[in-house]
Amino acid sequence: MAPILALTNGRVCYHGTFQNFPVYVDTSTGLIIPLPPPTSNIESETQTVDLQGRILAPAFLELQTNGALGVHFTQFDGAETYSQNLERVSRWLVEKGVGSWWVTLPTVKGDIFRKNGAHDATLMQIPSHSSINEIYGDEQSASAIKLITIAPELDGSIERIRELEERNIRVSLGHSAADFETGTAALKAGGKSLTHVFNAMNPLHHRMPGLAGLIASGECPYYSVIADGIHLHPATLAMAYRANPPKCILITDSVEMAGLPDGLYPGHAQIPHQQRKTGNKVTVEGTDTLIGSCCSIDECIRNLVQWSGCNLAQAVRCATENIANMMEIGDRGMIDEGRRADFVLLDDTGQVLETWIGGTQVYEKQ
């Protein structure tokens, strides 16, 4: 392969807009580079790929997924099996345009919680009753943790938020009955985001806005939304997105039934009940309690376009650049010089055609 890869004649998703410029990749490093300087042998050093007017976007970032293909990330059957399961899920995710993703491990406890949703209430923790080391292990073990959701109204939460921020662990507010004022205090203590806004929190009320009201406040944090048409009504999704597009983050909150046929599935460490999958909807059997979603991130992007009226580049930003900014990762999530050449090629409707990782094509739709 030539040392330089040139992707030309594409519409590039760039900071929420469509731009027309070639993208160059150093195949030896897998990084995006600026326009190569003129040389006598530039043609021999460059492999050109004509994108034929299709859309080139940063590969999607999947911030919150609990599992897929029958794999739930709380299930540990040995290091080798777990690693194989992660590989299997990764290969499935690249078909959805995902270039990087974070394993989500849900943990919850106590009958004092009103907004536990589908989480097992026997596993919840009160921040003031246990230390970070008791919950997550020593500092070295906890270094793998990048983001934690906490209910800010619980005793000791504000102190824990400050401590987590000092350890460079980002804190999101959610699974909570907190009011607006408590949420504001948590943001001032270092909270960075809201977890699946409107879900597992008090509803937005015109006199008591709760955590959801923070998305339009002067101290607006990043906030995630599940755009599956189940967790949020399309009109609610549109309102959430329009409140602050640069801070809106698309997540799937997918569970292990993602990618599997409809039917009844057993519980596990998080959900000690049977689970019913119907399309993208998963509930505790015999109830209306939502467990998670089976929607893929590319489908969430298409839904956002359809329901909010934004264009595809703006929707892509919510699954790429906004997440990279919130997580403070500077090596991916945007098509910029020096970042990893992780791309997804889309058609005009947002369907995934190809996925590239580090300048190498790893998936092509058949």
Active site residues: 253
Say what the alpha-carbon torsion angle 166, 98, 319, 50 is, to the nearest 10 degrees: 130
How many residues would you count in the chain? Answer: 366
DSSP 9: S
71-72/98-103 β-pairing: unpaired
Locate all alpha helices (DSSP H) within the chain, ordered by sequence: 42-45, 79-94, 132-136, 139-142, 157-166, 180-189, 234-243, 297-308, 312-317, 321-327
What 3 state SS string does 314-332 have?
HHHHCCCHHHHHHHCCCCC
DSSP 232: S
- CB atoms near residue 40 (< 10 Å): 6
The per-residue b/e assignment along 336-356, b for 16 or more CB within 10 angstroms, e otherwise, is: eeebbbbbbbbeeebebebbb
The answer to whether 280 touches 294, Cβ cutoff 8 Å, is yes
Cα angle 57, 59, 64 (rounded to 5 degrees) comes to 130
